[in-house]
Amino acid sequence: MESFVCVHFRIADMSRANVFFAALLLCVCVATGDAVETSQIEKVRSKGVLEAEDLAVIDDFIAQAVNEFIATTDFTGVARIRTLIISYSTSNQQSAAVQYAAQFFESARRHITAAIETARNIEDSGRRFKVTLNLLILIDGLGDIRLLDPAISFLNSDNPVIRYWAIRCITNPEVVGKLAVQQAGDSQLIDRIMTRLQELLDTASPEELAVMVRFCEELDNKQAEQLLLRIADLRISCYENWTVKYELLDITVLKALSAAIPTGGAADPEPARKFAQLYSHVMQRYIKGLARPGLLSDQQKHRLASVLVEIENKCLGRLLEIRQSVIKKAVEEGNLESLKHEYTRLFGDETAAGEIAGKLGFAYQAPGGGDRLSPLPLGEPTGQ
């Protein structure tokens, strides 16, 4: 039986899990043997000042290593080549670090871009997929802004695995850190990434949405908050339409929304409002599932229970400034009446506001405009 408290985002439970595991088995195995010569690059990494010939060694190393991706027919060795390239991405000498990195990532940009263009023309679809996927995993591993353009070109890929890794590349934590530095200056790249991610939302898988949420948390600016709010709206809509997939994703979404809410509320009520509306839908769905046998599968109920208990434990205590385990106890006991009572206490009803809205200082919104005392009710599934 699935644990009620699911802390980790488990890709194994997702709709496309088999596709992802199959891809990883094909593409990330560790191999034996040395395909790339490293003695010259080792010497360059140990130099305090680099000359023109040293920069050429860096370029030659990357060219040789990246060419292995195109030339190989045995993909059991590709993971080792990726690891090798990443391991040589920095100098051993602080005095040469900037000079070394500038050449390394410029060479990586040129050779990886060229390799991706070559891969597009590989006739065998299976080999084309493996080469492209491994190049994207390499870009993600290197985590540098200068490598984003090749990844961005795959955001609209019809292949879900390729699209997922393209999204990972542009939301990579190291990339986000460098983007954050750019916020005070040139923000064009941030604007471009945000625009592309917004365009993907309506068709994004739970795996992709989870990566986007992480990106929003780490970038932590107004644009990131707006993207997070749109993701919350998307999930709220999925609950309302009874089309929600992989409810455990909402642990990630709700935690991110909670982190955007200062204790005691804030001038901008939107994160709190979205948090409460989404969490209320999770709770309403679970209550309906308990009240009507057969409405939800056991797995769906277990996932919803995990969301309810985890958010009560990690978010409600901070936001309401009181530790509680009422929901956890009711879930463990299967106490439907206790859950209904707790729902009214937290979210209110048509006559009085609940504790969440009261504590955080916001009002719920009606579909046509205006305020509500309580969240929008979750309707019945179509045809039932």
Per-residue pLDDT of 123-181, as tens digits, reads 999 999 999 999 999 999 999 999 999 999 999 999 999 999 999 999 999 988 888 77
Closest by CA to 197, choosing from 221, 220, 230, is 230
Helix (H, G, I), strand (E, B) or coil at 195: helix
pLDDT of residue 36: 81
Q: What is the pTM of this model?
A: 0.85
* pLDDT value at 9 more than 60: no
Mean pLDDT within 94-98: 96
Closest by CA to 237, choosing from 221, 218, 253, 223, is 253
Identify residue 195 by its one-letter amino acid code: T
CA distance 356 to 359: 5
Under 8 Å CB-to-CB from 25, ≥6 apart: which residues?
none
pLDDT of residue 97: 96
pLDDT band at residue 186 under the 50/70/90 scheme? low
* Structure tokens given for 139: 């870009």
CA distance 68 to 111: 11
Instruction: Kindly report the backbone phi and psi dihedral angles of residue 364, in degrees, each rounded to the nearest multiple of 5, phi listed first.
Output: -75, 160
CA distance 245 to 152: 26
Q: DSSP letter for 96, please.
A: G
Neighbours of 350 (CB within 10 A): 8
Bridge partners (DSSP) of residue 348 are: 353
* Structure tokens given for 190: 């941030």
pLDDT single digits (tens) 32-65? 335 688 999 999 999 999 999 999 999 999 999 9
In this predicted structure, which of 23-27, 124-128, 130-134, 372-376 has the lowest mean pLDDT? Answer: 23-27
Mean pLDDT within 274-288: 98
Q: Which ranges of the chain would DSSP assign to H, the alpha helix?
A: 17-27, 39-45, 52-71, 78-87, 97-120, 125-142, 148-152, 160-170, 173-182, 188-200, 206-219, 222-240, 249-259, 270-291, 298-311, 317-320, 326-333, 336-347, 355-360
**Angle between helix 125-142 and 78-87 (nearest 10):** 20
